[in-house]
Structure 1
């Protein structure tokens, strides 16, 4: 599958999703539609399977169903709704404050956009969220009915729907996308569908696999979103884990040893990376000794700097000697330099 069609699929799904929800927000809750051909089907989320013309046709069909009154937005008891079995977000560093502000907006302005749900595959009286987890959690905490659109959807289409929906969100971090790819991978979803859901190429999926196959999900989740930590440093961590047999246990121990209560996920990542990074061998500076082996000084040199530090009982006298000898050394250098030119 080429790059362009995948981008078109993602863009069209976002258009379809936003247009559909805009239509639904203005409607009053209606009686649920019985299972059957007139019910809103999996067209909303099966977009990744079809060509762009099919997606547009599906969008037109859904809009026609809404206009005819055949589709229904439901008010559900949020306690009868469960989260998706494939979580796709990690907690934010300021998730508490951010969520409280979001919940207040729901409380004062109401839920403007319905969540999407499906029937729970093993509990007939319950539902699972396709997407809209924050709206569901806010409704649950506020004790309010949850505005929801029910769709018929398989596990495969559910994770594809979440991936496509999240592809249009700019705040997802690289590791969140990689972790979601790993959950699709574990669910047995074929790589071509993962490409479509996340709008990525096979090379990027290979890089993601390098990370989530080396670093256990529990450690990734414990680190968090790490918004300032991009792909290169996650790959670096994965390499450290692969190269050092004890690295995973070291990381687990470092996670337990939380040094700072205000530590952000970025800082936590860097701290853990530092714990498994190999420590460069210490190199003692060259020593300057006299003929008797008595230590006089140590020398540290770079292309533009020389540092001599006094050592031993004669070190200070040796530095004074060098200072006194510097003018004659400078003259000697200048004389030899002139001879080389001539």
Structure 2
């Protein structure tokens, strides 16, 4: 069954971006690119209607994000609860949050968080966004500056998504997990597209991952900042074909509980459980230049070795290693041949 014209246009909104850019260019007095294809008037009319709808939705959501009534409250952080739709997984490095907290302690909280009244507890609030600032104030024992807004669950989750869309530090799996929580809350796909600034194809890929990998496994692995969409999809596909591997994965995560494995390493360990041919990389080993200066680190598995540079000297070292690879291969062959004779 084919989609309705409006759904098809909205789903392929990326194809209409030129239309929006053309309107913006006209407003600025700059010429817009000449059209390359003629289409029917009916299609153009439908496209304009869809663009108007999307603009209206964008403006509505932006108003939610920017709302605040103009007054900043100072609240006791202990009277505030987190959003019912968490959008972050714990950081690998607790030191990063400590640096963030100390900056608030020394410089003050410059940007207010956004809160709403708790829907079921009088005199309490829920965070719309600004969870790290709220946590920092709570740990420092200081009031938190906040803007109060009156919004529904739907608007809360969409506002969080819009605020997150401008952040560069959310990993792909964190965005996918947030989409999952919106799905579970009954948020319509159109709202999810708007909240995460994605198209329907990307939401379909996210769904293929979070419907195959249970939330407890995703949370057990963590943010995995170096693991992108293709490898999460690879893990999801492997779990779908080997459903009995779920228990093995949970046992592997339990073994790592309390250990100092970074989330990228936890992902690799989990993937190696369902795909035994994928061996996890060992812990990074430092490389120094013999004078006490560290130039990088290396990590290896039985079939792979990765070298990372540290600083300008490390970058030079990487280039040097690359130049020496042919000579090293020749030396290896000579030594191997001589040992066999």
- When normalised by structure 1's length, the TM-score is 0.63
Aligned equivalents of 2:89, 2:208: Cα separation in 1: 20
The answer as to 2:273 corresponding to 1:275 is yes
Structure 1 moving runs of 4+ over 4 Å: 51-56
Please name the residue that 2:79 is paired with.
Answer: 80
Please name the residue that 1:245 is paired with.
Answer: 243
Is 2:208–2:233's contact at 8 Å kept on the other side of the alignment?
Answer: yes
Aligned equivalents of 1:118, 1:145: Cα separation in 2: 16
Q: SS at the partner of 1:257?
A: helix
Is 2:239–2:274's contact at 8 Å kept on the other side of the alignment?
Answer: yes
- When normalised by structure 2's length, the TM-score is 0.64
Q: 1:172 to 1:48 in 2, by over 3 A?
A: farther
1:71 Cα deviation from its structure 2 partner: 2.8
Is 1:178–1:212's contact at 8 Å kept on the other side of the alignment?
Answer: yes
1:98 Cα deviation from its structure 2 partner: 0.8
Aligned equivalents of 1:207, 1:259: Cα separation in 2: 29
Return 5+ residue gaps in structure 2 as ranges.
Answer: 1-9, 21-52, 279-339
The answer as to 2:162 corresponding to 1:159 is no
Please name the residue that 2:56 is paired with.
Answer: 50
Aligned equivalents of 1:173, 1:263: Cα separation in 2: 18
Alignment counterpart, residue 132 of structure 2, candidates 131, 134, 157: 134
Return 5+ residue gaps in structure 1 as ranges.
Answer: 9-46, 281-319, 324-342
Computing the radius of gyration from Cα coordinates, the structure with the larger value is 1
Aligned-pair Cα RMSD in Å:
2.6
The answer as to 2:123 corresponding to 1:125 is yes
Q: 1:279 to 1:112 in 2, by over 3 A?
A: closer
Q: Deviations over 1:66-112 (max 9, x none)?
A: 8xxx6311011110000001000011211x10111111111111111
Q: Deviations over 1:248-296 (max 9, x none)?
A: 101101001129933111011011001011559xxxxxxxxxxxxxxxx
Please name the residue that 1:206 is paired with.
Answer: 204
Q: 1:261 to 1:269 in 2, by over 3 A?
A: same
Which stretch of the first structure deviates more once superposed, 261-270 or 205-214?
261-270
Please name the residue that 1:263 is paired with.
Answer: 261
Alignment counterpart, residue 176 of structure 1, candidates 153, 169, 174: 174
Aligned equivalents of 1:224, 1:138: Cα separation in 2: 21
1:162 Cα deviation from its structure 2 partner: 0.7
Aligned equivalents of 1:52, 1:157: Cα separation in 2: 12
Aligned equivalents of 1:131, 1:239: Cα separation in 2: 33
Please name the residue that 1:90 is paired with.
Answer: 89
Q: SS at the partner of 1:107?
A: helix
| Structure with more contact order per residue of length (Cα contacts < 8 Å, sep ≥ 6) | 1
